[in-house]
């Protein structure tokens, strides 16, 4: 099947299929005599695997590791589990960070009168807050608070 058919059947866009091929995540497709990519059902199956891994938040580098494990019948399930657990930890960290951001923005919005006056604690906080620590510190609730002015 051509790339359009593979895209439709796998749920992965033709552009992403080309990209995955370019970065070596998937092997280059065979080509027809006229130079068009020709995909097999096994290619579609692999693309669905990649799409599902992406849906679960795995980055491309970890998807490559998962593909290697998937293809290796001598794999250890412990290796697959370790990748999944690391992804869960990362997702939980991101969730906590997003919750902190939402809490901070909610606090700022609640401190704003939202009236006709120009004074706005949201803008004041954005203007005066220091950037987050690059040393791995996670912004906490109220990180932007500068008062209720």
Count: domains in the chain: 2
40 is a domain residue: yes
Q: Looking at the structure, do residues 47 and 87 belong to the same domain, yes or no?
A: no
* pLDDT attached to residue 3: 95
Given a cut of 50, the residues of the chain with pLDDT beneath it are 136-149
Instruction: Supply the mean pLDDT for the chain.
Output: 88
Q: Looking at the structure, do residues 40 and 8 belong to the same domain, yes or no?
A: yes
What CA–CA distance (Å, rounded) separates 45 from 51?
10
* pLDDT attached to residue 131: 67
134 is a domain residue: no
* pLDDT attached to residue 39: 96
Q: Looking at the structure, do residues 81 and 50 belong to the same domain, yes or no?
A: no
Q: Looking at the structure, do residues 12 and 51 belong to the same domain, yes or no?
A: yes
Q: Which helix (H) or strand (E) holds 88?
A: helix 77-111
124 is a domain residue: yes
The set of residues, in sequence order, having a beta carbon less than 8 Å from that of 47 and lying 6+ positions away, is: 6, 10, 11, 12, 17, 20, 26
Q: Looking at the structure, do residues 85 and 119 belong to the same domain, yes or no?
A: yes
91 is a domain residue: yes
Give the residue numbers spanning the domain of 27. Answer: 3-55
Beta-carbon count within 10 A of 58 CB: 20
61 is a domain residue: no
Burial (CB < 10 A; 0-12, 13-18, 19+), residue 49, is middle
- Confidence (pTM): 0.73
**CATH number of the domain that residue 7 is part of:** 1.10.1660.10
């Amino acid at each position: 099947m051509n790339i359009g058919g593979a895209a439709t059947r796998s749920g992965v866009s033709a552009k992403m299929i080309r990209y995955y091929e370019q970065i070596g995540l998937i092997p280059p497709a065979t080509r027809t005599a006229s130079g068009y990519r020709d995909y097999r059902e096994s290619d579609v199956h692999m693309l669905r695997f990649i799409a599902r891994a992406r849906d679960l938040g795995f980055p491309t580098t970890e998807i490559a590791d998962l593909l290697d494990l998937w293809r290796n019948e001598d794999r250890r399930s412990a290796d697959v589990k370790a990748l999944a657990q690391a992804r869960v930890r990362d997702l939980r960290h991101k969730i906590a960070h997003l919750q902190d951001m939402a809490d901070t923005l909610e606090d700022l919005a609640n401190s704003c009168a939202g009236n006709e006056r120009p004074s706005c604690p949201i803008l004041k906080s954005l203007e005066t807050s220091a950037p987050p620590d690059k040393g791995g510190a996670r912004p906490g609730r109220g990180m932007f608070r500068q008062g209720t002015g």
